[in-house]
Structure 1
Amino acid sequence: MLTIIAAAAENNALGKDNDLVWHLPDDFKRFKSLTTGHYIIMGRKTFESFPKPLPNRTHIIITRQKNYTVPENCIVVSSLKEAIAKCPKDEENFIIGGGEIYKQSITIADKIELTRVHTSIEADTFFPEFDSKDWQLIAEEFHSKDEKHLYDFTYLTYCRNEN
């Protein structure tokens, strides 16, 4: 199963200057609990935005750069198709960004775990538009802003409709 996981504003903003545009500790915890123990697929810039590889996950980094070197437990590929081929077929595998990788995977993913951040914000990277008729919202959980979270946000889980 291929699952896209992202946090996007109401204007689909994801990030700016290769960084997130908000700090949502509860969303980080959710991301960690969903992706730990799984393969995570990302573009090179997303990988480079981490201080070090995320623990207890196998990283697959998509890049056009030849001879791109990565730490142990990281796999380098040159395309999304190649990345998916490296993942276990009988497990949930996650697409974690960035914008271009989301755009390439939105038509083939089975599931979307989207944290909708209730603001519109300036960004240079955006989550792709997706047709709601292709997806069924199966879970929704609202969280109010508080002392640790500057914005209200909602966890949305979509599964692809069987057409």
Structure 2
Amino acid sequence: MQMKTRLYIIAAMSENRVIGINNSLPWHLPDEWAHFRKVTAGKAFIMGRKSFEAPDALHSEHRNVIITARPPAHAEPHTEYAGDIPEAIALLSGETDVFILGGASIFQQMLPLADRMYLTIVHAQVEGDAFFPAFKPDDWQLASSEFHGTDEDHAYSFSMNLYVRKQPE
């Protein structure tokens, strides 16, 4: 029997839902990146082309599936291309845990399919042009939250939250 692939959204957003500006993150939070690397180590990623090509993009050492209408002639190592989300999920059907890295439209489409959200809340209102989609808090249970204050390496405080989808009653 094949195991179901679990889909996990991982993102950081400001209090006003911003996740990016000009295809980059609007903040630099080294401890949040360390958390990201720890959580996603050895796992497969799904992301849109612009997220994959962003200057500060994080790529999986394991497998990256990029959703794009125009795949390049030559794929980078550990990288595969899919025309849409069902194709991306099918490519990764042998994986147990798959992380969704965005961007905004990918998050929007994957939200109903996700089992968990690793959602860091950056405690600030920032300017941006990409936003995390609204979601129903009633659909999710906050399983853990770790607060990180400001310091010389972190201009903003943030909370690294893990939300687990509630099972239907």
Instruction: Give the structure 2 partner of residue 14 of structure 1.
Output: 19
Q: TM-score, normalised by structure 2?
A: 0.91
Match of 2:34 among 29, 49, 55: 29
**Number of equivalenced pairs:** 163
Paired residue type of 2:132: F
Match of 2:92 among 87, 90, 95: 87
Match of 1:127 among 120, 127, 132: 132
Sequence identity (%): 39
Paired residue type of 1:35: T
- Quick one: structure 1 residues 122 and 141, their matched pair in 2 at CA, closer, same or farther if it must change by over 3 Å? same
Secondary structure of 1:97's aligned partner: coil
Instruction: Give the structure 2 partner of residue 78 of structure 1.
Output: 83
What stretches of structure 2 of length at least 5 have no aligned partner? 1-5
Instruction: Give the structure 2 partner of residue 2 of structure 1.
Output: 7
What stretches of structure 1 of length at least 5 have no aligned partner? none
Instruction: Give the structure 2 partner of residue 108 of structure 1.
Output: 113
Residues 136, 158 of structure 1: 8 Å contact kept: yes
Deviation by residue 1:95-117 (Cα, 9 ceiling, x = unmatched): 01111100110111000000100
Secondary structure of 1:84's aligned partner: helix
Structure 1 segments (4+ residues) deviating >6 Å: none
Q: CA deviation at 1:57?
A: 2.7
Paired residue type of 1:105: M
Between 53-62 and 111-120, report the one with greater CA deviation. 53-62
Secondary structure of 2:32's aligned partner: helix
Matches of 2:14 and 2:57, distance apart in 1: 26
1:48 aligns with 2:53: yes
Secondary structure of 1:20's aligned partner: coil
Residues 23, 50 of structure 2: 8 Å contact kept: yes
Q: How does 1:143-158 map to 2 (within 5 A)?
A: 143-158=148-163
